[in-house]
Structure formats: structure tokens, C-alpha cells
Amino acid sequence: MAVACLLLAVAAWIYIAKAAARMPDFQVYWRAGARAAAAEPLYRPDDAPYEFKYFPAFAVLATPFGALPLHLAKPVWFALSTASLLILLRLTVRLLPHRRKSTAILITGLLVGLGKYYAEDLVLGQVNTLVALVAACALLALTAGREAIGGGLIALAVVLKPYMLILVPWLAARRKLPSIAAVAAGLAVAGALPVFLYGIEGTLILHRDWWRTVSASTQGTLLDTRNISIASMWAKWLGIGPAAAAVAVATSLALLLTAAVVFLRRRGVEHPDALEAGLLLAMTPIISPQGWDYVLVLTTFALIVVVNDLDRLPRLMRPLAVVSIAAMGLTLYDLLGRRLFYIALDLGVITIGTMTLIASAAVLRIRKAA
């Protein structure tokens, strides 16, 4: 309760001091919701740099916010995001099949490693915290054997953030028919949802425009300091070109191969789903070429597993895991100063820290510890 009250107080300060005058990403959702309600085009190049890049169904879901004046919609969204964060932190602890650290230590680990990204998500008015909460609910449902509910929630997460498609092949690999059928049905419903506002032809045009928007805006973001993707890291090291692209693809494939090995080692592990899904979600911001740093909110599940079972890692990996968490969460402008901060970003310190965290979680599975 004390931690929740403290976080609420910090969130209130963040809104008053930082977010109220900003929340640019929420304004994208708000504008898309208003446009969807009027059956207007969603994907407009002249909206750059704040183009709408989500599935059309997301805009339909955002219509209630678009119906509100912006000065009222902002605090409502911020309150929803803050509540989502508080619930997420609590549910993430519950996802651990064997809790070996106190709740205070686990939450502290999350706030040290990801606190700045939780705050950034709130200030920008982003949706990642809500997406992570939906994913946590899905994993809890799957762990409890409620496959259809879990699959449906994963479909909802995909609608809220296309990145979440990374969980669909994993769900299929589990070979549980109710969850597979539920996610397929959920995605089908989401694809058809805009038909009620745009008609069939208009909905097809929307999906075509969505693909054009997300595929055309990648290269221009690779050298952005906020981009912590593998593609961005290699582009900063080698320059944008075929060599950097090839190495980035190879690195991403190696991560996906790691996820496959982790999945194949699930036999004999009690409740293996949280680690497997958490590993895939941790890969999401660094595999995607447009991997903005605040998407690291999705590493919540992988990070808490590593904190919980840190002492089960090989002795030499323990300090590496701690350093990786520090690299992710303590690469702060106010802490390092301007020069060191930007040097760290250009060197890909956050990206390397995330990959080390993923490796630590993978080793825990190989050891059958998580």
C-alpha cells in the first residue's frame, strides 16, 4: 500500500509537471478516434512526425476518447495508464511460479531497470503500459488453464500494439486449440471492426494504408538517439547500409533462435509460459527497426524473472545481469551528463543491456530454474 501511494504521488507530479502540456502520442490516438468516428482517413503523411501507425481497429476503440475535448481526454488517459501501471506491477509478481524474493525487492528491481520507461510512457501518453497489463492478464489466464480467455486477450494486445503479433506463433506452438481459436477469432473480429464505420472497401483501403505507413517510415529513424533497436545499434556503429542491415538480421535471428531453444526446454518446468512470453516481449523493442526506448516497458516480465532468480545464474553471469539492468535503467541524462549520456546511447548500451538480460533469462530456462 505504501509503495502504491508513493507511485500515485509520483504519477500526480509527473502529470502536473511534465505530462499535462505534452502527451503527444496520446494526441495521435485521440485524433485517430475522432477521425474514425467520422469515417475519415486515418493514415496521413502530413501528420508526420506523429502519424498514426496502429491497426485501424485501434482507432475504432479510441473513438470514446476522440469524443472528449482534448483537455478532458488527457487526464482520463493518464489516470487509466497510471492505474494500469500499478496493477501491472502487482500482477507481474503474481506471474512468478515460485517467488524467491520479497515483493519489495522485486518491485524495486522493476523500478530501477524500467522506472524511467514507465515514466516516459506516461509523459508521452503511450499505450505500452496498458498493453503490458493486457499481456499479464493473458498470461495469468493461460497459467490458470483458461486458454480461450488468454488467446482473446492476446488478440486485444495485438490490436493495441501490432508488436504483440510476436506472441501469436508462440501461442500456436503451444498447441492448445482453445487459445489458438480465440486469438484467430479475435484478430478476425479486429480486422473487420472498421467495416461498421468505413464499409468493406474502406476497411481494405485502411489496412493497405497502414502497411504503407509502417513500412515507409523505418530508415529515417535508425539514427535517432531514442531508437534502441538492433538495427539502429548496428547502423550507428557501421553506418546505414547493407552491412549493418545484414548483421542486424543475423543478430535478430540469433535472438529468435534463443527463444526457440527456451521453448524447447519447457518440459518439466512448472508454469513455463510467463518466461517464454516475457522473453519474446523483451526482444520486441530491439528486433523492431522502430524500437523506441519506452517500449522497454514490455521487458517487465523477463526482468522480474531475472531479479527473482538472480542467485540461480552461473556465478559469472550474476554481475552481468545486474549491470544489464543498471545499463537499461540508469542511462539517465541527469545522472551521466550530456556528453556521457549521448555516448552511451550511440554505443548501444541500452540495447546491449537488454540482450544481456534476455541471455540471463534464457540461461535460467536452460538450467530449468524458471
312-354 confidence digits (pLDDT tens) = 999 999 999 999 999 999 998 888 888 998 899 889 999 999 9
Q: Is 145 helix (H, G, I), strand (E, B) or coil?
A: coil
Mean pLDDT of 209-220: 76
The pTM assigned to this predicted structure is 0.93
The Cα-based distances of 229 to 72, 166, 292 in angstroms read 34, 15, 7
- Residue 98: pLDDT above 80? yes
Amino acid identity of 202?
Answer: G
Q: How many angstroms separate the first and last alpha carbons of the chain? A: 28
Alpha-carbon span 31 to 65, nearest angstrom? 9
Among candidate residues 141, 41, 44, the one with its CA nearest the CA of residue 95? 141
| Contact criterion met (CB below 8 Å) for 317 and 306 | no
- Is the torsion defined by CA of 45, 48, 53, 57 positive or negative? negative
Q: How confident is the model at residue 132 (pLDDT cuts 50, 70, 90)?
A: very high
- Is the torsion defined by CA of 167, 265, 255, 301 positive or negative? positive
- Residue 217: pLDDT above 80? no
- Residue 220: pLDDT above 70? no
Q: Considering only CA atoms, give the Rg of the chain.
A: 20
Angle at 78 between CA 217 and CA 354, to 5 degrees: 50
What pLDDT is attached to residue 213? 87
**Displacement of CA 117 from its chain's centroid (Å):** 10
Helical axes 103-124 vs 70-94, angle rounded to 10°: 160
Helical axes 128-143 vs 70-94, angle rounded to 10°: 30
For 102-194, where are the alpha helices, taking DSSP H only?
Answer: 103-124, 128-143, 147-160, 167-173, 177-192
Q: Per residue in 34-85, pLDDT tens?
A: 999 999 999 998 988 889 999 999 999 999 999 999 999 999 999 999 999 9
Average pLDDT, the chain: 93
Among candidate residues 286, 269, 271, 253, the one with its CA nearest the CA of residue 356? 286
C-alpha cell at 313: 545464474
